[in-house]
Amino acid sequence: MPKVSDLFFKTAIVWLILGIGAGLQMAISGDHSAFPAHAHINLLGWVTSAIFGGYYALNPTKAARKIAMVHYGLYTIGLVVMLPALYLMLAGNTALEPIVAGGSLIVAAAVLVFAFVVFSTGTVRTVSDLSPATR
């Protein structure tokens, strides 16, 4: 598996553990006010990171480009800024709204980087390109 895929999956599973933790906390306490943070931790953190990791695993040529690591770094920094601030903002710390906004813009920028990766030309390998030993 390419390094960038491994990093995306390792980061994704950490978000899933945190997202499920937030879900259990809501379910047990009966206070569901943090549900937008829970949903974003799971969907941006777990699901989307894992999809990115899967994309690069299927496209090793693109995974080897420097821009793939830029995408990973920018996206993950954006989530680390945005998601805890969103959780705390929903818990009543409304002063954190600009941090949430800043993190969201970093995440959006990282998604544009990914769009560039997807649309840029590069060899897309198929299973038949792999040597029998790696199939």
List residues binding ligand HEM (CB under 6 A). 19-20, 23-24, 26-27, 32, 35, 38-39, 42-43, 46-47
Which C-beta is closer to ligand HEM: that of 10 or that of 125? 10
Nearest-approach distance from CB 131 to ligand HEM, in angstroms: 36
Nearest-approach distance from CB 14 to ligand HEM, in angstroms: 14
Q: Which residue is nearest to ligand HEM (CB)?
A: 23
Which C-beta is closer to ligand HEM: that of 23 or that of 73? 23
Which C-beta is closer to ligand HEM: that of 27 or that of 101? 27
Residue 94, exposed/middle/buried by CB under 10 A (0-12, 13-18, 19+)?
Answer: exposed
Distances (CA, A) of 16 to 39, 61, 66, 117, 134: 10, 28, 27, 25, 30
Dihedral over alpha carbons 21, 23, 27, 32 (to 10 degrees):
130
Which C-beta is closer to ligand HEM: that of 41 or that of 68? 41
Contact 7, 72 (CB under 8 A): yes
Nearest-approach distance from CB 60 to ligand HEM, in angstroms: 27
Distances (CA, A) of 55 to 26, 63, 83: 32, 9, 23
Nearest-approach distance from CB 114 to ligand HEM, in angstroms: 19
